[in-house]
Structure 1
């Protein structure tokens, strides 16, 4: 519709005539934009197991290809995909290089008592299909904020995102200094050991030091844990270099303690989201009066069920057929965000809540523990993933 003021401007008549003569633009920009977004940030991928690589006695790498054989969405080295199986999901870092989009490699280590890691290692076969999210997470190198001199502390399968970063550096010939300090239980448990040795020779900026907790007499390298003294001996002064940390949950508070003892600023330490805390009661703000073994009632709409206080709310919901969207399962991505209508939950320190969440009763159900009877609202909790968000 022509605006009534339009004709009061010089030349308006000619412009309006030209507009009227234009061929109508009938392109469906909404559909085109949606297709582009889905290609780069798909909500779900259906991936086929193309190869299985035995890394160690406890670890396998599953090479996954698009079931259509098309190229997979791009990702940044260090990101992960969330694998859906057995009515639940688990995030696994991509260990392959982002320079190769014909496949994603997921390196999975057996966790004693682990529900999904053991199932994947024991039952997954070539040709099987897996449903995953697209690549997610903020745990990747950002040259603007992280600089080109970084240190990576890895424990166990926490070497997977480091391997992706190393492969990218070598394959693209990036001018980056990358020092990996990799802690393993014993020498036989070192994942990617042969390739790590070869990558050192291929790029002058790559340094890899192994630290073995339970060495055999034949081991001649570093032993013990990733202590402040060990880190300083291997890296020299950190000088504010960005330090990445990825490994079992117990590594994170320990690494912070060791790094801060060296004067490393907390803002220069980055953690990979890696699951809910193994013992939420060990956190200082767990209520002293709350018994993690006590059962409470959780109510969602017309559904109620009983669960232990020491069990993550998301796990309890899934066990009862209620499955909020979820990805990181570590309190980071915010996809499993719910509102606590009544009752009280313990939200683990891993959760990255918004400043307003406490005021309005929101929490991340993957790291929230119901310590009283609770009523929760899932549908009024819009989940805005922080993948725009694994600095």
Structure 2
């Protein structure tokens, strides 16, 4: 009882503190900080793999589907934070690959994950899912991961989300979380789409804003047709100001086409919004060569090099293809999750040769010291020998 009284005054600081208190008290009854079978409890919350089956396919727009995933035998899925993703393993022909997809459903819903996928020009996995996947298809995935989520202690209770296209998926999860849990957090979504008919979740968003005064949604259409009465793009500093007013102290999240990130960050900074108050969802946004201006121009990205995996085989990979993708295409598969250079799960050791890292690579000091590359954003400049 004394422990509860000493912590309860914190209840006003962030949502969910009562659950934390209850867990501390439950474990306190055993006289230990960890339960007896700690590994079993940890694996139930953070499994290395999950078996999933498509329970429902929802047509959101002409180019977008939501795949509702459940356990084959039913039951609860591991918990997640709104804004996190799972890395879905997908077989396309003879190639087994994976892609991170943000969960668009509410964390309060534990029997399914909604993955909202939009058709992309040249999208290898997204287009395959939209064109071929039906109810009953089975997949495996990693557990929910990612740091693109709301931290109640540091992000405050008044947040802004700038989304484009299917980048609305994590925003939708955050909004549904607020609604389902009755949170007091205020959230304003500015959602950009090419045309009015491309807006994902439009009816649901309209219904939520009618009922929830703490949630506001502004649609911005870049190619407005006749009759459109809302905001028209492009989204820039002027339009951001007119829609949102002062940004001081408000955490701002960005998720959408990666080509817009640099521009939007600069526009926000031009309004005096500090970079530390801007969070970017980095999933799969690395600039491929020769788009990245740092690419050595004397090297043809179409030229092939030989990559030898110790103890296995040698394969040919174009310089302009990410090492991870080249290995997967040849039946060699390092573990991978974010595919954007952040999580480091796809690290391989460079025994000889030279690679080029996209600027998104979050290399650790130890990676540089011991010769590890993040293969999802590493490109082979020369013949390589690697190990993983």
Asked whether the two chains share a fold, i.e. TM above 0.5, the reply is yes
CA contact (8 A) 2:288 2:358 kept: no
The aligned residue for residue 353 of structure 2 is: 343
Q: Residue 222 in 1 paired to residue 227 in 2?
A: no
Q: Which has the larger radius of gyration?
A: 1
Structure 2 equivalent of residue 357 of structure 1:
367
2:97 equivalent to 1:82:
no
Q: Is the 8 A contact 1:211 1:226 kept in 2?
A: yes
Which residue is 2:9 aligned to? none
Within-5 A mapping of 1:68-107: 68-86=73-91, 87-107=96-116
**Structure 2 spans left out of the alignment, 5+ residues:** 1-33
Normalised TM-score (structure 1): 0.86
What's 2:20 paired with? none
The answer as to whether partners of 2:148 and 2:280 remain within 8 angstroms in 1 is yes
Corresponding position: 1:33 with 2:38 = yes
What is residue 10 of structure 1 aligned with on the other side?
A: none
What is the CA–CA distance in structure 1 between the aligned matches of 2:36 and 2:354, rounded to whole Å? 43
Report deviation, 1:54.
0.5
Taking the TM superposition and a 5 Å limit, the aligned residue runs for 1:225-240 are 225-240=234-249
TM-score by length of 2: 0.87
Aligned equivalents of 1:359, 1:97: Cα separation in 2: 41
Per-residue deviation at 1:358? 2.0
Relative to structure 2, which stretch is displaced further, 127-136 or 349-358? 349-358
Say which is worse superposed, 290-299 or 101-110, in terms of deviation. Answer: 290-299
Which position in structure 2 is the counterpart of 1:213?
Answer: 222
Q: 1:276 to 1:369 in 2, by over 3 A?
A: farther
Q: Cα distance, 1:276 vs. partner?
A: 4.2
2:260 matches 1:256: no
Check if 1:61 corresponds to 2:70. no
Note closer, same or farther for the CA distance 1:240–1:355 as it changes in structure 2 (3 Å cut): farther
Distance in 2, Cα, partners of 1:259 & 1:48:
41
**Superposition deviation, residue 355 in structure 1:** 2.6
**How far is the alpha carbon of 1:174 from its aligned partner?**
1.0
**1:161 corresponds to 2:166:** no
Q: Show CA shifts across 1:21-70 (max 9, x none).
A: xxxxxxxx999322212211111111111111100000000111111201
Q: Aligned partners of 2:214 and 2:135: how far apart in 1?
A: 36
Does the aligned pair in 2 maintain the 1:155–1:251 contact within 8 Å? no
| Partner residue, 1:148 | 157
**CA distance, structure 2, for counterparts of residue 275 and residue 303 of structure 1:** 27
Contact 1:173 1:203 in 2 (8 A): no
Q: Which residue of 2 aligns with 1:273?
A: 282
C-alpha distance after superposition, 1:77-126 (max 9, x if no partner): 00111110111001101000000101111101011221111111111111
Over the aligned positions, Cα root-mean-square deviation in angstroms equals 1.6
